[in-house]
Structure 1
């Protein structure tokens, strides 16, 4: 191909491009686009409003509806348990294990009793029902505007139609998320799933069957007497609402100087036993974070899991994942479902 031909072709293309007209923007293009964005924004707000109404109804139902259910709980390690759940809005809740057998928990709104046949343990503590209700209500408030609530569609659990509501941190946040499957007819929670920031399932609890007109026995919600030969464990922990309240009682509390946005202190528990233990609990309406300080040598299991290091992420068998480190008095565990880098940053800021 000659140079003269290439030069002529180049000239024709240049002239052609120079004479080309830019594409015409359709009339009202920008106005239509802005209207579409506003419509999408309004649709998202309407979705969130419907989702919050579903969750509010769920809370009201859990406080007012009597039911009996067969429940399965699956942990992040794949281990599952199965139990009968009986709940009466006035009398409390009863959980009796099917798999494994021999574990009974009764909360009569005054105290909670756990009876473990295999371990021959009878453990008493303060009722947890009010605290559980409070945590769910936090999710609806959306602490500091950090939480986003979305209606994601419908599903069927235990043969019953359910709405699926997704609760998570906003785009700028890092943390776990939760899904609630809410019965369309009654508003009862039929399933709940929690996932880590990397989408790993941390817990999954759902009903296999549901009975809405149960016939409870007179003693279903009455804690049994202590069986012969069982070890009775009483709740000897003192509770404080603030750091200042604990300090006035002479309690020295280790605490972090940095926490992710949205986390607020819920309470402080102090056990003055052979090995004193102080535990701080925080919540952001979606998940919890706890810092445990123990005045005793680190147990051999944790030492092995750390593999000679003085600090690091550990995952004990049948235990909760945590960042663990040695202290001058003993050791600390920071337990939570946050990313590893956030757990380490919190732990490094503890004074």
Structure 2
């Protein structure tokens, strides 16, 4: 066979085999490596950017735009810019406590930090114990290369996809999907800047004059089991070892202010935390703020503060406050689960 014939055969072979002869694609990192990058990023990077959060409510989507600033090792500031109905909403988290100001109610909710410290091997193990994790590929987001990773909860519930910046480990985009695969929540940066030396003063909260305060911040000795938390609280509250959507008891606290005893039980699914506050109803008036919500056995109030939602209700002499970043529908499922015990 002539040299030209050999060349023709080689070209046909290359073109017939997908990928053969094309530039080699760099291998994607493993799921474990992507998770490790996500967990260590909070200790390594500062950033400031504009973020859009969009939630699907029924047949329509509601979006808000916020200015997000983060300082390494756990300091966050969120200033909500639009639409006008949320303009002025502010969240400041200094890594120890969080302050959330809702201008429409002239209300401040103070609670423990909802930021997790930089990841540890134990936290990574929690994620893989609670989720099926898979790398889906690589995509560009706002001009930066990202790795797309999917997390599906083993216990069922909403799955999530993260677009993780290859250079920093920061999450540039996130999608949450329901059991049918429909997107119910997204958050994504439209611009972001890294390597900034943000001043610490930016992460100090200044209380607006005359604002009402709901305090969900408890100080007390940590408790490592639901049974111990129930004993120390002194009232017969519902403190299960696990909740729907794969949440397991992590730790708890009991605080006493004179005759007022309040317990807080924190649960985690490996990625997110959920806290249940309980106090005797006779010692605390039911706050009439937020949107009315109907539970199976009680009336409730929902405060939707964007990143954090608080569901408050009373049941059998106990006032409950359920705080976390889960969708409102999921908080209602958990509240119904607790009142049925």
TM-score, normalising length: structure 1: 0.64
Quick one: which of 202, 206, 209 aligns to 2:191? 209
Structure 1 residue 107 and structure 2 residue 93: aligned? yes
Inter-partner Cα distance in structure 1 for 2:209 and 2:339: 47
Shift of 1:179: 1.1
SS of residue in 1 equivalent to 2:168? coil
SS of residue in 1 equivalent to 2:37? helix
Residues 132/73 of structure 1: CA separation in 2 closer, same or farther (3 Å cut): farther
Residues 177/344 of structure 1: CA separation in 2 closer, same or farther (3 Å cut): same
Name the counterpart of 2:218.
237
Name the counterpart of 2:34.
54
Gaps of 5+ in 2: 1-26
Name the counterpart of 1:193.
175
Shift of 1:50: 0.9
Q: Is the 2:133–2:151 contact (alpha carbons within 8 Å) kept by the matching residues of 1?
A: yes
Residues 303/179 of structure 1: CA separation in 2 closer, same or farther (3 Å cut): closer
Structure 1 residue 328 and structure 2 residue 320: aligned? no
SS of residue in 2 equivalent to 1:237? coil
Name the counterpart of 2:107.
121
Task: Please state which structure has a larger fraction of its residues in helix.
Answer: 1
Inter-partner Cα distance in structure 2 for 1:329 and 1:67: 45
Q: State the superposition RMSD in angstroms.
A: 4.5
SS of residue in 2 equivalent to 1:140? helix
Shift of 1:91: 7.5
Task: Please state which structure has a larger fraction of its residues in strand.
Answer: 2
Quick one: which of 275, 282, 299 aligns to 2:267? 282
Shift of 1:108: 2.6
Between 1:198-207 and 1:110-119, the stretch displaced more is 110-119
Larger Rg: 1
Shift of 1:211: 1.0
Residues 201/270 of structure 1: CA separation in 2 closer, same or farther (3 Å cut): farther
Q: Is the 1:176–1:286 contact (alpha carbons within 8 Å) kept by the matching residues of 2?
A: no
Question: Mapping of 1:240-319 within 5 angstroms?
Answer: 240-241=222-223, 242-246=225-229, 247-256=231-240, 263-268=247-252, 280-286=265-271, 295-296=280-281, 305=294, 310=297, 318=304
Shift of 1:210: 0.8
Name the counterpart of 2:204.
222
Name the counterpart of 1:178.
160
SS of residue in 1 equivalent to 2:180? coil
Shift of 1:277: 6.4
Inter-partner Cα distance in structure 2 for 1:229 and 1:325: 26
Name the counterpart of 2:140.
156
Shift of 1:166: 0.8
SS of residue in 2 equivalent to 1:54? helix
Name the counterpart of 1:168.
152
Q: Deviations over 1:19-63 (max 9, x none)?
A: xxxxxxxxxxxxxxxxxxxxxxxxxxx97x712202211222221
Q: Deviations over 1:145-202 (max 9, x none)?
A: 44221110122222222110111135xx422212110112222211122222232434
Residues 205/235 of structure 1: CA separation in 2 closer, same or farther (3 Å cut): same
Shift of 1:272: 7.0
Quick one: which of 39, 49, 65 aligns to 1:82? 65
Q: Deviations over 1:255-289 (max 9, x none)?
A: 34875695420234667799976554422325556
- Count of residue correspondences: 296
Inter-partner Cα distance in structure 1 for 2:315 and 2:214: 28
Structure 1 residue 93 and structure 2 residue 73: aligned? no
Quick one: which of 53, 58, 62 aligns to 1:73? 53
SS of residue in 2 equivalent to 1:74? strand
Q: Is the 1:294–1:331 contact (alpha carbons within 8 Å) kept by the matching residues of 2?
A: yes
